[in-house]
């Protein structure tokens, strides 16, 4: 007998929603092709962090699948800041590259903030450049950062209404927590939420997660959030994806910030890891690339 207060969770299938986004982008890519435009996305990786290598490989594979011109630039782990800046300058002026990103983290001799400031804001498909952050906050977003945007798409796909919802975000990163909070508090149909942002100095985290209608875990602490910290009927979005040593073929398994088993006994809907948020992040990167190509080439397209 299960707990009478437990809910049957809907597993939010990010891979499926992402596939739909990619299909829809295919039409925009055809429109661009009709005007002789092939959207170009470059990824830059400094060093050989295995997780980062996997991520950029997946991003490049996505490009191939949808017909985006993917270019990858690999720099040695001991590359100087000047070498990276030179690559950035080349990408800023390359007419075939409409968007690019420098995979984070970078080695310690390089300051990521300085890297971001050098990326042309028009090509900053991550949406990390200060100009793009300011535009997002001012409700005039050029590029919505990919993970928060992907989560909004998941809400849309699963009819999860954020209007008036209490949303607790665990994590205050520039990549996820902060832009997510901003988007969800905005006066818009996919916002209008009351947002609480928690972090490593938050006291009584469980009190903040228990009172939420939606919990977004994005702190990189494996299985920090468990079922005891959730109320029945909560929507749980797990952004975490840590490699944990395990007796598997690869020698590791991917673990989120949420203890899926206990959380799914309380949640009305929950994202798995992998297969939840990750595929959406990548789909929205393609979305931003297509948008960048459309804007810079002056070819209007319909975006999903
Ligand atoms: N590292 C982890 N996530 C991201 C991302 O969305 N963009 C970049 N550039 N690096 C990352």
DSSP-derived secondary structure for 192-226:
--EEEEE-TT-S-HHHHHHT-SEEEE-S--TT-B-
For a ligand 1 pocket test, name from 60, 72, 104 the mutation site with the most ligand atoms within 8 angstroms of its C-beta: 104
Q: Are residues 159 and 71 in the same domain?
A: no
Q: Are residues 115 and 240 in the same domain?
A: no
Helix spans in the chain (H): 14-34, 50-66, 81-93, 112-118, 130-137, 146-157, 177-185, 205-210, 260-264, 277-297
pLDDT in tens, the chain (304 residues): 445 555 589 999 999 999 999 999 999 999 999 999 999 999 999 999 999 999 999 999 999 999 999 999 999 999 999 999 999 999 999 999 999 999 999 999 999 999 999 999 999 999 999 999 999 999 999 999 999 999 999 999 999 999 999 999 999 999 999 999 999 999 999 999 999 999 999 999 999 999 999 999 999 999 999 999 999 999 999 999 999 999 999 999 999 999 999 999 999 999 999 999 999 999 999 999 999 999 999 999 999 9
Domain of residue 70, CATH code: 3.40.50.10860
Domain contains 51:
yes
Q: Rounded to whole angstroms, how far apart are CA atoms 121 and 126?
A: 10
- At residue 44, φ and ψ (nearest 5 deg) are -120, 130
Question: What is the per-residue pLDDT for 8?
Answer: 83
Q: Is 175 in the pocket of ligand 1 (CB under 6 A)?
A: yes
For a ligand 1 pocket test, name from 101, 179, 180 the mutation site with the most ligand atoms within 8 angstroms of its C-beta: 101
Question: What is the per-residue pLDDT for 1?
Answer: 45
102 in Cβ contact with 123 (< 8 Å): no
Question: What is the per-residue pLDDT for 3?
Answer: 56
The minimum-distance atom of ligand 1 relative to the CA of 52 is 1
Domain contains 71:
yes
Q: Is 126 in the pocket of ligand 1 (CB under 6 A)?
A: yes
Q: Are residues 151 and 259 in the same domain?
A: yes
Domain contains 60:
yes
Structure token digits, residue 22: 């990619």
Domain of residue 252, CATH code: 3.40.50.720
Q: Are residues 149 and 261 in the same domain?
A: yes
Q: Are residues 197 and 265 in the same domain?
A: yes
**What's the total number of domains in the chain?**
2
Quick one: how far is CA 230 from the chain centroid?
23
Q: With residue 244 as reference, give the H or E element that holds it.
A: strand 242-245
Q: How many angstroms is it from 241 CA to the middle of ligand 1?
A: 12
Structural domain harbouring 260: 145-278
Question: What is the per-residue pLDDT for 183?
Answer: 98
Q: Are residues 63 and 95 in the same domain?
A: yes
Select which of 124, 126, 257, 259 is catalytic.
126
Question: What is the per-residue pLDDT for 100?
Answer: 99
């Amino acid at each position: 007998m299960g707990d009478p207060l437990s809910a049957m969770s809907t597993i939010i299938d990010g891979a499926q929603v992402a596939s739909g986004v990619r299909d829809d982008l295919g039409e925009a890519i055809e429109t661009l092709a009709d005007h002789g435009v092939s959207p170009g996305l470059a990824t830059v990786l400094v060093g050989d962090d295995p997780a980062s290598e996997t991520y950029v490989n997946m991003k490049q594979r996505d490009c191939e699948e949808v017909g985006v011109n993917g270019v990858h630039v690999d720099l040695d782990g001991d590359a100087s800041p000047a070498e990276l800046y030179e690559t950035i300058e080349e990408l800023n002026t390359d007419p075939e590259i409409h968007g690019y990103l420098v995979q984070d983290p970078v080695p310690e001799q390089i300051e990521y903030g300085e890297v971001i400031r050098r990326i042309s804001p028009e090509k900053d498909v991550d949406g990390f450049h200060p100009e793009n952050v300011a535009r997002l906050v001012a409700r005039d977003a050029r590029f919505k950062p990919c993970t928060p945007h992907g989560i909004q798409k998941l809400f849309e796909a699963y009819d999860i209404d954020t209007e008036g919802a209490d949303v607790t975000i665990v994590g205050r990163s520039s990549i996820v927590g902060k832009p997510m909070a901003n988007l969800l508090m905005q006066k818009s149909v996919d916002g209008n939420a009351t947002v609480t942002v928690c972090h490593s100095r938050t006291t009584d985290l469980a009190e903040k997660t228990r009172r939420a209608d939606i919990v977004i875990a994005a702190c990189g602490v494996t299985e920090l959030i468990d079922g005891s910290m959730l109320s029945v009927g909560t929507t749980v979005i797990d952004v975490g994806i840590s490699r944990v040593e395990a007796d598997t073929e690869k020698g590791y398994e991917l673990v989120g910030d949420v203890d899926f088993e206990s959380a799914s006994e309380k949640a009305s809907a929950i994202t798995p890891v992998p297969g939840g948020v990750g595929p959406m992040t990548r789909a929205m990167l393609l979305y931003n690339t297509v948008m960048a190509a459309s804007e810079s080439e002056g070819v209007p397209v319909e975006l999903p």
